[in-house]
Amino acid sequence: MALSIKRLSLCAAGISALCSVCFGQIVKTKTGYLLRSHYVKGMVINYDSATSVKGGGTSIPAFHIGIKIEVIKVNRGIGTVRITQGAVKVGGSEVMHPSTLEVSLDSRNVGNTKGSNAIGPPLPPLAVRPGSTWEAVIPVTLLGNTKAMKMRYQFSGMTHVKNQSMGLILFTVGGAVEGEGKMFIRASDGTVESSEMTLNLGKGLGGVSSKAMMQAHFLVKRL
């Protein structure tokens, strides 16, 4: 089954939000590090998401998506967050229009609104030590079909990036697609500094054989 560059681009763009955001703080406790969200009304963060797809006889040059995160309001610790994703252009042609999504998230980056579990990692219920793991199942849309991605996160520990204290989270992906990645989270406010993920798409695309496996690479950086 031949997949057009437009359809592949839409697929990759649909997954890119998984690399995006969470808010909060990383607090050292007696039992480890507590990862929690803390929302502040008016907070705005901008990201650039670079995506490329190759393999299976298809190659899509890297394209960029602007992602804007805004905290609209906060009520009893629940933050209403607006995610604005810019247009996707490949080869000078727009293949995906700008879109906006509003979700409500609690202190563990978990919400009860549609799409709320697809913008960043759900945080563990208890404090974690380096090496601790937790899991989540996240729905993702691949070529119009909603499928499950099984995420396994591991807190690697604290490090320094750009002279700032950061928490490093490693993760693997299974289910509809397979892959792995990592993200750096600022200790000061829990926001994502950067996130990188590589996925093998062939398994999740109907009609694509294992011999035609395609690989997508995502790199999200804070501006």
Is pLDDT of 16 > 70?
Answer: no
pLDDT of residue 21: 54
| Residue 110 belongs to some domain of the structure | no
In a domain, 82, yes or no: no
The reply to whether 181 falls in a domain is yes
Q: Domain range for residue 171?
A: 5-35+47-63+119-222
pLDDT bucket at 83, cuts 50 / 70 / 90:
confident
Phi and psi angles of residue 126, each rounded to the nearest 5 degrees, phi first: -120, 170
Q: What is the pTM of this model?
A: 0.83
d(CA 52, CA 92): 15
Q: What span, in angstroms and rounded, lies between the C-alpha atoms of 205 and 216?
A: 13
Q: How confident is the model at residue 166 (pLDDT cuts 50, 70, 90)?
A: very high
- For residues 48 and 32, is the Cβ–Cβ distance under 8 A? no
In a domain? residue 28: yes
Is residue 76 situated within a structural domain? Answer: no
Q: Which residue has the higher pLDDT, 5 or 145?
A: 145
* CA–CA gap between residue 88 and residue 36 (Å, rounded): 32
Total domains, the chain: 1
Confidence at residue 13, expressed as pLDDT on a 0 to 100 scale: 52
Q: What's the whole-number average pLDDT of the chain?
A: 78
Q: Is residue 93 part of a domain?
A: no
